[in-house]
Structure 1
Amino acid sequence: MFEASEKKLEIVVANEFGSLRTLPDDFKAKLLTLAGAEILSHVHNDCIDAYVLSESSLFIWDNKLLLLTCGQSTLIESALYALGVISTDHIISFKYQRKSELFAALQTTTFAEDAKLLAQQLPGRSLTLGDKPEQQHFMFYYTHRDLDTTLVPLPELTPQEHLISELMLYQLDSDSAARFMALKGQGKTLTAAKQRRLLNIGELLVGFKFDDYAFSPCGYSLNAISGSYYLTLHLTPQSSGSYLSIETNLDNLTIVFGIFTRLHHQFSPARCDLVLSGHGAFTSDASQYLATTLNLCDSKHGSDVNIVDTSLNELDNHTESPEQRYTIHLRQFCRRQ
């Protein structure tokens, strides 16, 4: 039994801290060891260092660290270690996220336990999105309370680059998922290149560098970067807990939702979560696209889908600047039984 859903750690630091990319290799090594992960491959450009891990992915910009882990990883240990290295005074924002796990009893901690430990280090807030216990998203969120012009992230990001789009597909169609399993009777794992072709999204990511990995006997991870943009995808095709997740900060929402819709139609999941979050840019284009995401109800199942929306707006309501306010919107689709 493999827990495919990810835990996520995101830290954004101030100018005065310097570049996260120049931290000693020992920092990265210990960060991953504490989580129970190791580096499998690596790609970089002038803006990002991206790593495919044994337990998901790591991205490091000058001002931001994003670590995703799956399985029975102990990401809370990595989060606490990072807080010991990066002073709270240098942190602009901190997010630690988990979801309702399919095999929760196999995890070493609960989100509530993790949040309690984090609250001893940061005066953050614990948030829950989603109504059903088995379909919830949990977040511990902190932002610097004295945010001003001296604490602008390095380098400065456009409002659109603050928008994060995520899609999570659960209980994939068995026939579609089987195409990504080992070849029957041959004991061979499909190559990463073959799985990337089967996913058929590369043509939509013109100018991106790709780094992917095929796990044995099954499982696939992909990182893609272009400038300061990233996309990461993780596929677990086995029937017990089949799952696909994809996340990106691309600001071209036509491309983003083109990819999302293509993947949703390909895998026809029993349920899926669409999450949009960000600072400032969450108003016009993103909201408009949310209103049209009914096209995720593919032709195989038509409109026979329940839709639930949950939003948390202006989490940073201490600040009067709209660009600094954080919003997260969760839209959940579930086929009616």
Structure 2
Amino acid sequence: MFFEGSEKKVEVLVHNDNFSLLTDINDEFWAELVNCCHAKILSSISNEQCKAFLLSESSLFVWHSSFLILTCGETNLVNSVEYFIQQLGVDKIKHLTYQRKNEYFSHAQPSCFGDDIKQLSQYIDGTAMRFGAMDSHHNFVFHQNNGFQASAEDKTYEIFAYQISEQASKHLTREGVNSADIRQFLRLEELVPGFQIDDFTFEPYGYSVNAILAGKYLTIHVTPQADSSYVSFASNLNLIELLPIILAVLKPASLDVLSNNELEFEALTKANIPSNYISQSLVQQSLTTGSVINFANYILPKQHFSQAVILDVNANNHAL
């Protein structure tokens, strides 16, 4: 079974004078927004500063003045952005960032990044960039050009782990595995002590978790199948400092690290990524918003020959 774990991601900040996304927009609106990209809401948790929706394909977080949505699989996230704009008006948007990772099965997607940007550009003027080499791991980022200046305190982090260890893959795909077991395996209590947790274990494989504490959040999405294993982490917690735990658990053959506005990126990665991981890509770019995006891809070099993978010519063509 193959599943596209790589996410598309949108972060929208709004002008919130006498207006709150958290208290003035009802759950039916968010359910329809999610439905527009062909996903659905499974559950939610909330506090006074944030509401977190667990989706059939990833997550949605809503604060008073912003929202963040990530979707995986064969979703068309740009349709949800268009719904938001059409319902509330483009003038309501203070700033928008759209991000999309390289996929395992890009040919199975309903659109590519170029298609998405053409659709967004009907409403928003912006700049598109690629972080990382086209023939390797990379992230596309489109951000609005409207004079917005980001706060120096607005920092976000993402970790993308590929080809997790055989031990981790077997543990996460074994029969009868449940959410409590996966929380313990991922060492969630160490990653987010005291956080409110909402998680879901998918059939036959897969796991998603949202964690919130005041305005802080962490979301993790696990696609554990050995042939296309992928685990993503997104947070406004410093995930680079948490990498020793993440790498000890998953032992991935490759990982991407992406940060927004983390000025100590080089020192942090050097301190927290073992020396046996070698960087293949290092990209740093200042945006018109005043923020800085850093992207790095690391691999564990192969020391020995492996055997070719035998394919089933009659199987789903996503794998061929």
One-letter identity of the residue aligned with 2:296: R
The offset of 1:263, in angstroms, is 1.4
The offset of 1:175, in angstroms, is 1.8
Distance in 2 between the 1:74 and 1:17 partners?
31
The offset of 1:304, in angstroms, is 5.8
**Are residues 1:127 and 2:129 paired?**
yes
Distance in 2 between the 1:213 and 1:195 partners?
10
Per the alignment, residue 37 of structure 1 pairs with 39
The offset of 1:108, in angstroms, is 0.6
Aligned partner of residue 234 in structure 1, secondary structure: strand
One-letter identity of the residue aligned with 1:35: C
Q: 1:210 aligns with which of 182, 197, 220?
A: 197
Q: Which moved more, 1:110-119 or 1:204-213?
A: 204-213
**Are residues 1:309 and 2:275 paired?**
no
The offset of 1:25, in angstroms, is 3.0
Unmatched 5+ stretches in structure 1: 153-157, 298-302, 317-323
- Higher helix proportion, which one? 1
Unmatched 5+ stretches in structure 2: 303-320
**Are residues 1:288 and 2:267 paired?**
yes
Closer, same or farther: CA 24–44 of 1 in aligned 2, 3 Å: closer
Per the alignment, residue 240 of structure 2 pairs with 257
Closer, same or farther: CA 15–181 of 1 in aligned 2, 3 Å: same
Distance in 1 between the 2:7 and 2:13 partners?
19
Closer, same or farther: CA 86–132 of 1 in aligned 2, 3 Å: same
One-letter identity of the residue aligned with 1:326: S
Task: Check conservation: 1:201, 1:259, Cα contact below 8 A.
Answer: no
TM-score, scaled relative to structure 1:
0.84
Per the alignment, residue 267 of structure 1 pairs with 250
The offset of 1:293, in angstroms, is 3.8
Closer, same or farther: CA 71–109 of 1 in aligned 2, 3 Å: same
Q: Which moved more, 1:76-85 or 1:241-250?
A: 76-85
Q: 2:169 aligns with which of 168, 172, 177?
A: 177
**Are residues 1:12 and 2:4 paired?**
no
The offset of 1:17, in angstroms, is 6.6
Deviation string for 1:282-329 (max 9, x for gaps)? Answer: 33x44531343432x4xxxxx26344210111x11xxxxxxx512110
The offset of 1:172, in angstroms, is 1.2
Aligned partner of residue 167 in structure 1, secondary structure: strand
**Are residues 1:336 and 2:309 paired?**
no
One-letter identity of the residue aligned with 1:18: F
Per the alignment, residue 55 of structure 2 pairs with 53
Distance in 2 between the 1:214 and 1:330 partners?
30
Q: How many residues align?
A: 300
Distance in 1 between the 2:254 and 2:129 partners?
22
Distance in 1 between the 2:220 and 2:53 partners?
12
Task: Check conservation: 1:91, 1:144, Cα contact below 8 A.
Answer: no
Per the alignment, residue 3 of structure 1 pairs with 4
Distance in 2 between the 1:290 and 1:257 partners?
6
Distance in 1 between the 2:194 and 2:181 partners?
20
Aligned partner of residue 133 in structure 1, secondary structure: coil
Distance in 1 between the 2:77 and 2:272 partners?
32
Task: Check conservation: 1:167, 1:247, Cα contact below 8 A.
Answer: yes
**Are residues 1:168 and 2:160 paired?**
yes
Distance in 1 between the 2:105 and 2:144 partners?
28
Alignment of 1:77-96 (within 5 A): 77-96=79-98
Closer, same or farther: CA 17–70 of 1 in aligned 2, 3 Å: farther
Q: 1:239 aligns with which of 211, 226, 246?
A: 226
Q: Which moved more, 1:67-76 or 1:82-91?
A: 82-91
Distance in 2 between the 1:191 and 1:182 partners?
10
Per the alignment, residue 222 of structure 1 pairs with 209
TM-score, scaled relative to structure 2:
0.88
Deviation string for 1:155-205 (max 9, x for gaps)? Answer: xxx743x1001100011112221101132xxxx3x1111110111131342
Distance in 1 between the 2:13 and 2:59 partners?
17
Deviation string for 1:66-92 (max 9, x for gaps)? Answer: 011000011111111112123332322
Distance in 1 between the 2:241 and 2:269 partners?
13
Closer, same or farther: CA 304–233 of 1 in aligned 2, 3 Å: closer
One-letter identity of the residue aligned with 2:285: L
- Percent of aligned pairs with the same residue? 31
Task: Check conservation: 2:124, 2:144, Cα contact below 8 A.
Answer: yes
**Are residues 1:195 and 2:178 paired?**
no
Task: Check conservation: 2:16, 2:64, Cα contact below 8 A.
Answer: no
One-letter identity of the residue aligned with 1:178: K
Task: Check conservation: 2:277, 2:298, Cα contact below 8 A.
Answer: no
Deviation string for 1:106-135 (max 9, x for gaps)? Answer: 101110011111111101111110014341
Per the alignment, residue 260 of structure 2 pairs with 277
Aligned partner of residue 42 in structure 2, secondary structure: strand
